Amino acid sequence: MSHPIEILERYWNHTSFRPFQEDIINAVLNNEDTFALLPTGGGKSICFQIPALIKDGICIVISPLVALMKDQVNALNQKGIKAMAITSGLSFSDLDTLLDNCIYGNYKFLYISPERLQQTIVQERIQQMNVNLIAVDEAHCISQWGNDFRPAYRNINILRQLQPSVNVIALTATAKPEVVKDIIDELHFIAPKIFRGSFNRSNLALHIINAEDKHYQLEKILKKHKGSSIIYVRSRRATTDTHKFLESKGFSCTFFHGGITSKEKHERLEQWLHNRKEIMIATSAFGMGIDKPDVKMVIHLNLPESIESYYQEIGRAGRNNEKSYAVILNGKADEQQLKNQFLKTSPDVDFIKLVYRKLCNYFQISYGEGEQTQHQLDFNDFCKAYDFKSATTFNALKMLDKNSIITLSQQFNYQTKLQFIIPNKALFGYLERQTHQHLIIKSILRTYGGIFEHLLKINIRTIASKASTTEEDVLHVLQQLKKDEVVEFQFSNTDSEITFLEPREDDKTINRIAKEIEQQNELRSSQVNAVIDYINNDRVCKRIQLLNYFGELSSTPCENCSVCLKKNQTKSSTDIKTIKNGIIIALEEQPLTSRALIELLPFNKHEVLDVLRLMLEHNIIELTNTNRYKIKHT
C-alpha cells in the first residue's frame, strides 16, 4: 500500500500536508467514520481523494454543486485519475452506460448529487460497485440548521444500507456545533473521529467601513492595498457598473457572473488567476473550488446573506498566510436592502405552489409527466408572462431547486432551431458563391441528420468547436443564411436551464415539502439577523464575534480589525487643538471639502469631522456654495 505522502507528491507535487490532513487521511484508511471541519482553504478534497487512491475500488462523492463536481473531476482527469460526474440531463441509456463504467472500468471516483442517489438504477448499480469510501462534501447541507440546507441530503444514509461495511467521511467548511451534531446523527456515524480546524485566521484583518459613497471608498482602499482582490456585489448589473467605474480609474480588473458565456468565464478566470487582471468583480457564486494563494483582499460592496457564506468568501484571501484584508462597505440603506432581498422576498408555500404550476404550464408539461425533462428558461419572459415579481420568483425557483423538485442551472444559453429549406443541390450551388461559410455548414450537415426535413434543435457551441471557430461567427453565418432564405432559423438567448426531477402533481408536489419551506424561511431570517448583529456590534472584536458564532470561544482581541483599531485610536486620540490648527493651516491655502481634509491631514477621519463640526458651531469656519470649508473672516 502506498503511503499518503507518496500519493501527495506524485499527483499534487506537495511534500507536506496542511494541518489535520494527514490525521484525517489515516483515520479514513483505518476505516473510521470521520468528520472533517476544515475552514475554507484547508484542503478538504485531498482528505478523501488520497485514501480513495490508496484503497482498491471506487470512492462515491456526494456533492450538491454541479460546477464544483465538474471542476474536481476535470482536475482529477488531468492528473490521469479516472473520475466521472453524473449530473442532470442524461438519458437512461447514457446513465446506464456510465454506471456500468463505474463497475467495470477501473474508475476511482464517482461524483453524484443527492437527488441522483434517489434513482433505483443508481442504487442498484452502487450495490454492485467495489466501493472503498463514501465522501459527503458540503455536509452542512444535511442539517436543517445548516447553511444551504438541502432535504435530499437527508436520504444519503441509503448508502449505509447499500454498502454497510464502507466507512463515511463528511466534510464542511462552516458548521455551528448543533450542525455538527446533526451531521453525525443523520449519517449514522459509529464512534466517529472528529477533526475541527480553527476558524481563526490571524493574518486576515476584518473591517466594517461605513460608506455612503462606496465607489469613492473602494477606489481609496484599492489604491492603498494593491494586489490580487475579489469584490463581491449582489447583482449582475453591479458587476458591470463597478467594472466600468474601476476601469475608468485605471485599475486592472474584470468581472464574472452567471450571464456570461462559458468561454468568457474561462478566459476571465484565467486572466485573474495568472494576475493579468488584478481585480475580479463577481457575484457570490464566484470562487467555489478556486485556490488562489495570493489574494490580498476580499471586499463586499453589499452585506452578505449569512455569516457562513461571508466566512467562506473572505476565506479566499490570504491563503499564503501573508497579511490580507476582508472589508465590508456598509451604507445606511444596506440593512434594509438585505431584509428586502432575503426576508421580504422569501416566498411562502402558496406562492411556491403558484410558481410551480405556472412553470409547468409555461413548458406545456401535462399532469403526471415531465420527469427528467430539460428546458431552457428565459427568466424575464417567464416573470412577464405571469406578472410575477422577479426577486420573489427567483427565490421560489431556488426553493424548488433546494428541495429537489427541479434543478435550476443559471447559465447563458442559445436556444436555437434550424432547418435547411432549399434542396441539397441548391445548397451546394449557394456554397460555391459563399466559400467562407463552407466549414460551418458542413459541420452542421455532418452533426444533424434530417436537418433538410425537420426543424431541429442545434447546439451553437458544438458547431463552433467542430468548425474550429467562435460561437459569434457561427451565429453570424446562420443569420446570413436566414437572410438569404437558405434556412429557417429560430434563435433566442436564455439565462437559465430547468430540469424537472419528478412528474407534475401540482399542489401535491409542494405539500410534501411545505414543512421544509417554512423551516428554511425561518433559517433565512435567523441568518440575516446574525449578519445585522455582526455589522452593528462595534464593541466586540470582529474576530471574536466570528469565532463565537461558530462555537469557538475566544476572548483575545485581534488588535487589527475595525473595532480594535478604533479602540486603540480612541486611547491615543489627538487633542482637539492640534487637529484645529492642522485644519486652519490647510484652509489658509484654499477652501477644501471634508474628504480632501481627511486625506490631507494625518488624523483619524471621525476626529477631523468632529472638530469641523465644532469649528462651524463657533463660527471659525464656514461652508461655501460648493460644500467646501473656508476660514470665516470677521
Sequence-ordered alpha helix ranges (H) in 422-575: 424-433, 438-447, 460-466, 471-483, 507-511, 514-536, 542-549, 562-571
pLDDT given at position 153? 86
CA angle 124, 406, 238 (to 5 degrees): 135
> In what order do the strands lie in the sheet containing 279-282?
204-210, 324-330, 295-300, 228-232, 279-282, 253-256
CB-CB contact of 171 with 135 (8 Å): yes
Q: Enumerate domains of the chain plus CATH numbers.
A: 4-196 (3.40.50.300), 204-332 (3.40.50.300), 339-412+498-526 (1.10.10), 422-485 (no CATH), 573-631 (1.10.10.10)
pLDDT beyond 80 at 41: no
pLDDT given at position 1? 57
pLDDT beyond 60 at 444: yes
pLDDT beyond 90 at 568: no
Provide the b/e sequence for 137-159 (b: ≥16 CB within 10 Å): bbbbbbbbbbbbbbbbbeebeeb
pLDDT given at position 504? 95
CA angle 185, 186, 191 (to 5 degrees): 40
Sequence-ordered alpha helix ranges (H) in 372-448: 379-386, 390-402, 424-433, 438-447
Q: Each residue of 516-553: pLDDT tens digit? A: 899 888 988 999 999 999 999 999 999 999 999 999 88
CA–chain centroid gap for 548, Å, is 25
Q: Each residue of 497-512: pLDDT tens digit? A: 888 989 999 999 999 9
Nine cell digits for residue 623? 461652508
% of the chain residues with pLDDT over 70:
97
CB-CB contact of 304 with 531 (8 Å): yes
pLDDT beyond 80 at 574: no
* Separation between Cα atoms, residue 481 and residue 343, nearest integer Å: 49
Rounded average pLDDT over 394-398 = 92
pLDDT given at position 527? 92
Rounded average pLDDT over 154-182 = 92
pLDDT band at 380 (very low <50, low <70, confident <90, very high): confident
pLDDT given at position 218? 95
CB-CB contact of 490 with 416 (8 Å): yes
Q: If you average pLDDT over each of 17-21, 322-326, 439-443, which comes out highest?
A: 322-326
pLDDT band at 403 (very low <50, low <70, confident <90, very high): confident
The SS3 of residue 247 is helix
pLDDT band at 414 (very low <50, low <70, confident <90, very high): low
Rounded average pLDDT over 406-427 = 80
Q: Each residue of 265-317: pLDDT tens digit? A: 889 999 999 999 999 999 987 877 777 999 999 999 999 999 999 999 999 99
Taking each helix axis as running N to C, give the angle between helix 542-549 and helix 307-314, from 0 to 180 degrees, rounded to the nearest 10: 120
Longest dimension (CA), the chain: 95
Integer CA distances (angstroms), 62 to 52, 138, 183, 426, in order = 14, 9, 14, 53
pLDDT given at position 250? 94
Average pLDDT in the chain? 89
pLDDT band at 77 (very low <50, low <70, confident <90, very high): very high
The SS3 of residue 385 is helix
Residue 509's identity, in one-letter code, is T
Rounded average pLDDT over 28-37 = 96
Helix (H) or strand (E) holding 376: strand 374-377
CB-CB contact of 215 with 245 (8 Å): yes
pLDDT given at position 495? 67
Q: Each residue of 123-150: pLDDT tens digit? A: 999 999 999 999 999 999 898 787 778 8
pLDDT given at position 28? 97
pLDDT given at position 572? 52
* Separation between Cα atoms, residue 590 and residue 587, nearest integer Å: 5
The SS3 of residue 618 is coil
Residue 314's identity, in one-letter code, is I
pLDDT beyond 70 at 490: yes
* Separation between Cα atoms, residue 49 and residue 2, nearest integer Å: 13
Q: Say which residue, 376 or 32, is predicted with more confidence.
A: 32
